[in-house]
């Protein structure tokens, strides 16, 4: 069993009286694409905050490539190869798209090499994402969906080993989602990244990931093969009234 | 024994004023992310208004308190509309609101303080009020100090009661916890923000009015209180009204004892040391849950 | 302008300005001196605060500290050494304070730096009274006007060069990231705390050195004169009017303001200061980017936003 690139062990995050993340375990390996799904408020984004060092977990450990980074500041995670996007795209609005991508290369990406040289050039990264035309446009002037793509570019600029994507498909058409997912797949294949992908639109995710973890009220209630999880009774019940009902019809 | 009692009393009396000033700032910053650096200047205005009321109109300063509170409240609403509302409306992010309102506050500080210098000059002014000593258990305390302590605590408790039991108070607390949620329930920030801002300045004004009964006043008197208010907020925890009250007393006591054992001029060093200490040890405040 | 061109322009201007003492009257020279001082203060202030959008009100504290280094070293310490030491002392102090409070919210940082001026003033007053047994100090043999002029000119030129160097360096990029979205910058590998402390200290160095350099112009130094809050306020105002995100803006603005100040401040001090306060308020509300943003918009029309983002 090869070693996990990113390993969360018993991670809990508590805000005052609210337990947002409840003792979640998750192991992600190089080359894997893992989806994280769950109803609204399940704690998915909070879990990501813990995985990227933005929040310090109240309990549990986070190990990246063998190094225990629990409690360390976010930049330590970035320097270890954890890159992420945010639920609402957070780009540097006053900088051009190119400068946004270059930012990661200057800092987090400085100490590592990409498996593929092609991703060392910000312009090439933008080209790969279909944003070449917007290179000199201030990021604040891009549409939200293009900002989401740019965020992926920024994350790639950081030369990550682990890519955390938070709802990159939100607001996109089916064709756009498909294109984006293909992109992510290609990145994963060429660079051997571990990709963790939160998606609220479950149907979308199921078609592209091999493995799915389900969070419900902060706790992990399922983790395994995408199709098997889709049929899991507990998962369906968690989603009852939302996607769950229609999933049952599909399955 | 009497000596220690006097020392503690001095600390609490000063602390009561600190609490009052801090409460106002806490509300404003906690609710709107507006840190009004000129907060102390409105304390000064309250002091001058009271002084004018007493020396020109012959009104008892205590009786004048509600007038001062009202005047500063109205002024606060006006200041909010003129200076801060635009920032809250046009800023792209919360950090920008904070950054811009700091600068505006800085400008306000110079505007208000120098306008006061212009109007009343730099000389110290004052009046005498209840300057008779009272004996309590062997200790001698000035009557006016006891009076301002009572009123400072009273005003603070009034505000705490307002926050806890009135509808407006609950709206404020709701907004501080969840701005979006509160708005969804129908709480109108356009009404609440100026109201709270005015309330904050009113409290500063009352603190200034009380101070004028004991100390001499000058246009620069308010400045140190802004920094002290922040230290109290850090001590007591941002957003916690009770924390500001307790933190104020604590700081007052620390200063009183500290100054006695070291020196009067090291007061600021002491307060800063307390600030750094709390920031390092308990960043969320001493009384935070 | 490329960085190299800007730096060359700065050196050329400095060279040209160094001829002034022999061309100007004493009064005009004094005016130029004040102007240079404010340019140096504003540029070094903007170096940290312009990019990161943090409001530091500690300029008065650093300036005063530097002045006291000169005062304490008055007999024995060569002028140049005092100036350097003044800068280093301020920088060290800034690093200490920065390490303690720069990770806090911007609002806390602003108020804490606001109180620093008073804090340092009280501390020095106490020390002077308790240990040196004095209230003020006299500088018995101040340097001539020309060495003072050259010291300030050199410091200001260095401040501009430093600002140019920082702006196009990784530090500058990190600072801009911090100003744009600090948490985002952290997730991309920026050690925000360290970079802020470095930039804050660098900025403080110049404020302290300028304080040390200018101190000799007052023959009698006491805490009240030297820790003058007006210097801090003027620095912020000048930088904001010029445009805190630029380097040229504060320089031009310093020129404008020094002329204004000299004539108006002494005549109508309180009225003038009130109006300056009002000016800052109006500026932040209606033109937060300062004159520089106005010029950008006028000069480049539709292209102004793209220009604004060039490194």
Reported confidence tier of residue B288, pLDDT bands at 50, 70, 90: low
Across the interface, whether the CB atoms of A75 and C186 are under 8 A apart is answered yes
Buried b (16+ CB within 10 A) or exposed e, C100-114: bbbbebbbbbbbbbb
User: How close is the nearest chain A Cα to the Cα of C299, in Å?
Assistant: 19
Distance separating alpha carbons of residues B11 and B6, to the nearest angstrom? 9
- Of the candidates B49, B98, B80, B88, which has an alpha carbon nearest to the alpha carbon of residue B199? B80
Higher-pLDDT residue of C50, A15:
C50
Give bridge partners of residue A6 from the DSSP assignment: A28, A64
pLDDT at C204 over 90: yes
pLDDT at C263 over 80: no
Whether C118 contacts C64, CB under 8 Å: no
Across the interface, whether the CB atoms of C55 and B103 are under 8 A apart is answered yes
Total domain count, chain B: 1
Give bridge partners of residue A224 from the DSSP assignment: A212
Q: For A22-36, B130-144, C2-16, C192-206, which range has the lowest pLDDT when averaged over its residues?
A: B130-144
Per DSSP, the residues of C91-125 read: HHHHHHHHHHHTTS-HHHHHHHHHHHHHHHHHHHH
Residue B206 covered by a domain:
yes
Q: In this predicted model, what pLDDT tens digit does every residue of A59-82 receive, in sequence order?
A: 999 999 999 999 999 999 999 999
Residue B286 covered by a domain:
no
Cβ burial of A158 (10 Å; 0-12, 13-18, 19+) is: buried
Q: In this predicted model, what pLDDT tens digit does every residue of B67-119 receive, in sequence order?
A: 999 999 999 999 999 999 999 888 878 888 899 999 999 999 999 999 999 99
User: How close is the nearest chain A Cα to the Cα of C76, in Å?
Assistant: 46
User: How close is the nearest chain C Cα to the Cα of A137, in Å?
Assistant: 7
pLDDT at A21 over 60: yes
- Of the candidates A26, A86, A33, which has an alpha carbon nearest to the alpha carbon of residue A60? A26
Answer whether C274 touches B (CB < 8 Å): yes
Residue ranges with strand state E in A3-96: 6-15, 18-28, 33-37, 59-64, 67-68, 82-84
- Note the Cα B265 to chain centre separation in Å: 22
Reported confidence tier of residue A240, pLDDT bands at 50, 70, 90: low
pLDDT at C87 over 90: yes
pLDDT at B270: 87
Q: How many CB pairs (< 8 A) connect B and C?
A: 125
Cβ-based contacts of C184 with chain A (< 8 Å): 86, 90-92
pLDDT at C309 over 50: no
CATH 3.40.50.300 describes domain A6-250:
yes
Query: Has the ipTM of the complex gone over 0.95?
Result: no
pLDDT at B168: 77
pLDDT at A199: 85
pTM recorded for the entire structure: 0.90
Domain boundaries, chain A: 6-250
Q: In this predicted model, what pLDDT tens digit does every residue of C25-52 receive, in sequence order?
A: 888 888 899 999 999 999 999 999 999 9
Across the interface, whether the CB atoms of C183 and A54 are under 8 A apart is answered yes
What share of chain B in percent tops pLDDT 70? 99
Average pLDDT, chain C: 90
Q: Could you tell me which residues come within 8 angstroms of residue C106 by beta carbon, excluding any fewer than 6 positions away?
A: B95, B98, B99, B102, C53, C54, C55
Q: In this predicted model, what pLDDT tens digit does every residue of B172-228 receive, in sequence order?
A: 887 777 766 777 777 777 888 999 999 999 999 999 999 999 999 999 999 999 999
pLDDT at B176: 77
Place of tokens 């996007």: A85
- Tokens standing for A108? 């987090």
Cβ-based contacts of B263 with chain C (< 8 Å): 126, 130
Cβ-based contacts of A54 with chain C (< 8 Å): 183, 186-187
Across the interface, whether the CB atoms of C176 and A138 are under 8 A apart is answered no
Residue B289 covered by a domain:
no
User: How close is the nearest chain C Cα to the Cα of B224, in Å?
Assistant: 8
Per DSSP, the residues of C229-266 read: HHHHHHHHHHHHHH-TT-SHHHHHHHHHHHHHHHHHTT
Q: Find the residue in A nearest to C103 (Cα).
A: A73
Whether B62 contacts B214, CB under 8 Å: no
Q: In this predicted model, what pLDDT tens digit does every residue of C219-238 receive, in sequence order?
A: 889 898 889 888 999 999 99
Across the interface, whether the CB atoms of A78 and C192 are under 8 A apart is answered no
Buried b (16+ CB within 10 A) or exposed e, B58-78: eeebbebbebbbebbbebbbe
Q: Find the residue in C nearest to A92 (Cα).
A: C180
Higher-pLDDT residue of B20, C2:
B20
Task: Count the neighbouring beta carbons within 10 Å of the beta carbon of residue C144.
Answer: 10
Whether A115 contacts A52, CB under 8 Å: no
Which candidate from A138, A154, A158 shows the least CB-CB separation from C305? A138
Give bridge partners of residue C220 from the DSSP assignment: C138
pLDDT at A192 over 90: no
User: How close is the nearest chain B Cα to the Cα of C283, in Å?
Assistant: 9
Reported confidence tier of residue B246, pLDDT bands at 50, 70, 90: very high
What's the maximum distance between 2 C-alpha atoms anywhere in chain A? 50
Output DSSP code: residue C129: I
Distance separating alpha carbons of residues A210 and A216, to the nearest angstrom? 20
Answer whether A95 touches C (CB < 8 Å): yes
pLDDT at A251: 42
Host domain of residue B248: 2-281
pLDDT at B271 over 80: yes
Distance separating alpha carbons of residues C36 and A107, to the nearest angstrom? 36
- Residues of C with a Cβ under 8 Å from any A Cβ are 170, 173-174, 176-177, 180-181, 183-193, 305-306, 308-309, 311
Q: In this predicted model, what pLDDT tens digit does every residue of C114-147 receive, in sequence order?
A: 999 889 998 998 888 888 888 888 887 888 888 9
Reported confidence tier of residue A12, pLDDT bands at 50, 70, 90: very high
Q: Find the residue in C nearest to A86 (Cα).
A: C184
User: How close is the nearest chain C Cα to the Cα of A79, in Å?
Assistant: 5
């Amino acid at each position: 069993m090869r070693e996990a690139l990113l390993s969360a062990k018993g991670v809990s995050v508590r805000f005052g009286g609210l337990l947002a993340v409840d003792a979640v375990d998750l192991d992600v390996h190089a080359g894997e694409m893992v989806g994280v799904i769950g109803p609204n408020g399940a704690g998915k984004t909070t879990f990501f905050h813990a995985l990227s060092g933005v929040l310090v977990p109240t309990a549990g450990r986070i190990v990246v490539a063998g190094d225990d980074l629990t409690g360390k500041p976010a930049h330590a995670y970035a320097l270890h190869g954890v890159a992420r996007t945010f639920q609402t795209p957070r780009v540097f609005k006053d900088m051009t798209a190119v400068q946004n991508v270059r930012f990661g290369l200057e800092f987090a990406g400085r100490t590592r090499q990409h498996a593929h040289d092609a991703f060392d050039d910000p312009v090439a990264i933008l080209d790969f994402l279909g944003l070449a035309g917007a290179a000199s446009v201030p990021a604040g002037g891009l549409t939200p969906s293009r900002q989401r793509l740019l965020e992926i570019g920024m994350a790639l600029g950081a030369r990550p080993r682990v890519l955390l994507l938070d709802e990159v498909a939100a607001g996109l058409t089916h064709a756009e989602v498909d294109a984006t997912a293909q992109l992510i797949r290609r990145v994963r294949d060429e660079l051997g990244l571990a990709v963790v992908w939160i998606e609220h639109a479950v149907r979308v995710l199921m078609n592209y990931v091999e493995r799915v973890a389900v969070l419900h009220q902060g706790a992990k209630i399922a983790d395994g093969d995408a199709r098997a999880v889709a049929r899991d009774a507990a998962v369906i019940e968690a989603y009852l009234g939302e996607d769950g009902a229609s999933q049952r019809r599909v399955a | 024994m009497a000596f220690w009692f006097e020392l503690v009393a001095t600390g609490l009396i000063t602390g009561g004023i600190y609490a009052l000033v801090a409460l106002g700032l806490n509300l404003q910053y906690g609710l709107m992310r507006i840190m009004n650096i000129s907060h102390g200047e409105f304390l000064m205005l309250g002091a001058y208004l009271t002084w004018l009321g007493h020396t020109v109109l012959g009104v008892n300063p205590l009786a004048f308190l509600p007038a001062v509170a009202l005047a500063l409240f109205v002024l606060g609403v006006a200041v909010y509309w003129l200076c801060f509302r635009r920032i809250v409306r046009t800023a792209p992010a919360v950090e920008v609101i904070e950054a811009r309102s700091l600068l505006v506050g800085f400008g306000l500080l110079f505007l208000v303080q120098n306008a006061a210098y212009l109007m009343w000059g730099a000389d110290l002014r004052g009046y005498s009020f209840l300057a008779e000593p009272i004996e309590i258990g062997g200790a001698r305390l000035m009557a006016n100090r006891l009076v301002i302590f009572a009123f400072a605590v009273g005003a603070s408790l009034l505000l705490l009661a307002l926050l806890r039991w009135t509808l407006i108070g609950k709206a404020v607390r709701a907004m501080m916890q969840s701005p979006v949620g509160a708005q969804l329930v129908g709480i109108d920030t356009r009404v609440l923000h100026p109201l709270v801002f005015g309330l904050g300045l009113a409290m500063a004004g009352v603190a200034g009015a009380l101070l004028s009964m004991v100390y001499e006043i000058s246009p620069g008197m308010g400045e140190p209180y802004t920094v002290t208010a922040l230290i109290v907020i850090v001590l007591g925890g941002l957003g916690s009204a009770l924390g500001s009250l307790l933190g104020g007393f604590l700081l007052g006591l620390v200063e009183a004892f500290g100054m006695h054992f070291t020196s009067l001029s090291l007061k600021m060093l002491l307060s800063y040391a307390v600030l750094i200490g709390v920031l390092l040890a308990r960043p969320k405040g001493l009384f935070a849950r | 302008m490329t960085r190299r061109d800007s730096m060359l322009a700065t050196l050329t201007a400095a060279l040209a300005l160094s001829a002034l003492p022999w061309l100007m009257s004493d009064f005009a020279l004094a005016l130029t001196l004040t102007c240079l001082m404010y340019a140096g203060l504003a540029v070094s202030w903007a170096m940290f605060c312009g990019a990161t959008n943090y409001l530091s009100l500690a300029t008065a504290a650093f300036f005063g500290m530097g002045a006291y280094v000169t005062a304490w070293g008055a007999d024995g310490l060569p002028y140049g050494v005092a100036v350097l030491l003044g800068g280093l002392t301020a920088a060290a102090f800034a690093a200490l304070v920065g390490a303690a409070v720069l990770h806090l919210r911007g609002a806390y940082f602003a108020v804490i730096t606001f109180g620093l001026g008073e804090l340092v003033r009280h501390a020095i007053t106490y020390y002077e009274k308790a240990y040196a047994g004095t209230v003020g100090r006299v500088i018995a043999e101040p340097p001539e006007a020309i060495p003072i002029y050259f010291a300030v000119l050199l410091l200001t030129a260095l401040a501009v060069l430093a600002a140019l160097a920082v702006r196009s360096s990784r530090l500058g990029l990190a600072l801009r990231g911090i100003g744009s979205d600090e948490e985002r910058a952290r997730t991309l590998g920026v050690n925000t705390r360290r970079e802020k402390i470095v930039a804050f200290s660098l900025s403080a160095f110049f404020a302290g050195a300028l304080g040390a350099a200018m101190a000799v112009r007052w023959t009698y130094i006491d805490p009240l004169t030297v820790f003058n809050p007006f210097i801090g306020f003027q620095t912020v105002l000048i930088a904001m009017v010029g445009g805190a995100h630029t380097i040229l803006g504060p320089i031009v603005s310093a020129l404008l303001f020094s002329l204004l100040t000299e004539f108006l401040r002494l005549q109508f001090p309180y009225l003038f200061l009130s109006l300056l306060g009002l000016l800052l308020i109006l500026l932040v509300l209606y033109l937060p980017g300062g004159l520089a943003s106005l010029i950008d918009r006028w000069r480049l029309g539709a292209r102004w936003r793209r220009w604004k983002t060039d490194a």
